[in-house]
Each structure stands twice: as structure tokens, then as C-alpha cells.
Amino acid sequence: MSDIVILGSGMGGLGAAYRLRGEGITPVLYDKNAYYGGHTTSFRYDSGFLFDVGPHISFTKDTRIQELFADSVDQHYETIQINLNNYWRGHWPQHPVQLHMHGLPEDVIVKVISDFVEELKAPERSVNNYADWLLASFGQSFSELFPMQYTRKYHLTTADNLSTDWLGPRIYQASLEEMLRGALSSSAPHVHYITHFRYPTDGGFKSYLNKLVPLESLHLNHELISLDPLGRLLSFSNGTVVHYDELVSSVPLPELIGMIQGVPQDVIDASRRLACSTCVLVNIGVNREDLSDAHMSYFYDEDICFTRLSFPHMLSSRNAPAGMGSIQAEVYFSNKYRPFTGKPEDWIEPVIADLRRCGLLREDDSVVFSAAMLLQHANIIFDLERSAALKMVHGYLDDIGILYCGRYGDWGYLWTDESFMSGENAAQKILDKMQ
């Protein structure tokens, strides 16, 4: 039997392990953390509050993955109709804004629709980047007031520096009729690529991994420090050295390339051009649960420090003590465009101050819990350098026989189900070779 090693125990790594185990093959998994799950783990604090590592919900339409996750929690999950909203200059329009402009300043609505109509009448625009796509889809006013502004907070760069490779169904292209209805009436229909989602009743999102983790072949606290592709050896910081015949990695590509012996300089340079966001997660517990009607809120104003909020207690009542609510705020930085400095805890007070400023926290609310953590890798930034750099890095890994998977191995905008299937696909390549 070949020595098959998987680096990482997040959705990608577990997907690879699941596929191999389905064929009677037991791979060995190594994870640098003291816990499994990667970004799909959850932590319950002594205060009784539970927070996932970032907002995670399961909205996959793949019935096989649905059943797999449901079985992992013995069918104990919540099915929730999603509610999303936005904060823009003191207003709280429903999401997406282009379908729910009712209540915004009249001059803003008039200018947005006027520009939208002008764009419809204009010659077809050449689309070379995300900014071009926005202007062609919505016109200048809406693009500049909303998505371009959000882009600077979420992607840490400008829309004209982003490709359109990441879009998929993520931004709804409204018709003139839909925009008019949403401007005239507060009862415009909700249209979004997510309508309902599932979430485990107990234990947070990590519970979906309950039956997917091969504990007998998982080694935690193993941080990779060196990879010898010629000798097929992996060296870990604790002194462990292991041999592999086949290797699947979900390690972020820039880190992985930096640990491989003998990497050509052009590949190293390409890996350094790959951009992602870094996120400070600020977790807040509050002495009341009626904090928001929305499960998630997007913040466009650049003088508000957080970009997005989620409310874990609304996903399952067991995520917070009885009668209390929880908020998770995301504050974004970037390895390439806005490097993080200082400590994650530095952002707790600014987040609380902005929660009060936008009205989500009242003056008489008590913050009964607070904590912060840093995610060095959050979202992939699809800037204009990504495609060529990624092609070179993946080409090199293909040449030396290292398989890659997951959000940070594929270096793509993968949701949890897609990350799991990415791992399965990597494992299938091993199975194909063994036939």
C-alpha cells in the first residue's frame, strides 16, 4: 500500500480522506493546529458562547453533500430561511441593494436609475475587469456608491484591479422593472442565490465533520516546515519526518511553495503575487438576543471598521446562553494591499464603538463577552495578477507530483461543499493512477 499523506484537516483535506477511505485506503492526515477542521471549526468559550471561525452555513444544492452533512449530525440540524441586509449611510436596505432601494434618499434613487437607463441605451461596454462589469450591469452611480465601495473594504483593492472570474451567482443583475419595483415599494421580492440554509443544532458548524474525521489516522500539532520533492519527505517542526508516495495538500499555496526545497525563483515570485485577505474576527456576547432581524449584514461605509456582521445565536439557540445574543464582526486586511499590524484584540473596542454608532448596540446594552482572533488567510483576492501567477504555481506542483485542494490549494472562491468536493477530486487523481 502506498504512503498517502494529506496536509490539512479542513473541508478539502477531509474530502480527500473521505474519497480514499471509500475505496478502502487509509491516508494519514497532518494538521499544524491542535484541533481539526481548519476554518470550519468552532469554539465554545467558558462563557457559554459558541463561535465558528467565520460565518459558515450550508446552502449546497448537492443532495449527496446535504445527506453526508445531515448524517454526520444524526439529522439534528436547523433549516432557516435566510435574511440579509445592508448598512449604508444610516439606512438599512434589504439585500441585494439593487432590488431594495426603497427608503434611500430620493436623489440617490433617481440618479441610480437614470444612470442605469443610460447604460442600457449605450453601446455595449467592453468588459476587461470587475469595474467594467459593474458599470455595464448597473451604471455609474450605483456601481460607485455600493459595490465599488464594498470592494475596497472586502477585497482590499479597487474594482478595476479585479477580474470577473469569481463572480458566478454572487451578484444579481437586476432588470429595470425589478429596480423600479424595489425603489417604489418596501415589499419587493427577495432574490438571492441563497434562500434557505442548514446549520447544526448543537456544536456549531464543526459538527458537520463529526463522522468525517478519521481520528485514528489524524496527527495534530504537526506544522510542516520542509518538503523534499525528490526524496518525497515531509519534515515537521516537532522533529517528525515522514515519507510519502502520494501527497494531497490544502496548505495555502504561498506557504507551501516557501517550504518546498529547490523551487525555481520564478515560481517563488509567482506565489508571492497571489493575494488573499487577512481577517480579524471579533466575537461579541450581548445581554439580549433581539439584536437584528438579519442573519448577516453588509457594511459599505468606509468609516465603519467592520465589513460584515453575522449573528451566531440566530443560527442555533445553543450558540449562546439563554436570553443572550452574539455578534461576529469581520475586519479585513491583506497580505498584499493592507498588511495587518498589531494584535487582534486591538479591534475589540473599535468594533464595539461602531456597533453602537450604527445602532445595533444600545447605550444600555452590556457586552458580557468579547474575544478576537486573526485568520491569516481569509478570502482569495481575484486581482489581475492572480490568473497568470496561479497557472505557474499549479504547473510547478503538477510537475513535482503534489496534488492540491481546498480554498487555499485551488486558490479559489470555494464554499464549504466545493472545498470538500475539491478534496475528493484530488483523491480521485490518486485512485486513477492506482488502476
As a whole number, mean pLDDT of residues 391-401 equals 98
19 alpha-carbon distance from chain centroid: 23
109 alpha-carbon distance from chain centroid: 31
The pLDDT of residue 232 = 97
Q: Is the pLDDT of residue 4 over 70?
A: yes
SS3 307: coil
As a whole number, mean pLDDT of residues 284-298 equals 97
> What's the topology of domain 4-37+213-271+387-434?
FAD/NAD(P)-binding domain (3.50.50)
User: In the chain, where are the structural domains located?
Assistant: 4-37+213-271+387-434, 96-184
The partner residues of 435 in beta bridges, in order of sequence, read none
CB 274 within 8 A of CB 386: yes
As a whole number, mean pLDDT of residues 58-84 equals 95
CA distance 365 to 207: 31
pLDDT band at 187 (very low <50, low <70, confident <90, very high): confident
Model's pTM, two decimal places?
0.95
Of 4, 423, 8, give the one whose Cα is nearest residue 247: 4
Query: pLDDT per residue over 235-267, tens digit each?
Result: 999 999 999 999 999 999 999 999 999 999 999
**DSSP run (H or E) holding 281:** strand 277-286
CA distance 153 to 411: 20
CA distance 153 to 277: 10
Q: Which amino acid is at 61?
A: K
DSSP-assigned letter for residue 384: T
Query: pLDDT per residue over 346-368, tens digit each?
Result: 999 999 999 999 999 999 999 99
Percentage, residues of the chain above pLDDT 70: 99
How much is the mean pLDDT over the chain? 96
CB 245 within 8 A of CB 3: yes
The partner residues of 241 in beta bridges, in order of sequence, read 235
CB 373 within 8 A of CB 280: yes
Query: pLDDT per residue over 69-78, tens digit each?
Result: 999 999 999 9
Report the alpha-carbon angle 36-258-344, nearest 5. 55
CB 155 within 8 A of CB 162: yes
pLDDT band at 1 (very low <50, low <70, confident <90, very high): low
As a whole number, mean pLDDT of residues 75-94 equals 96
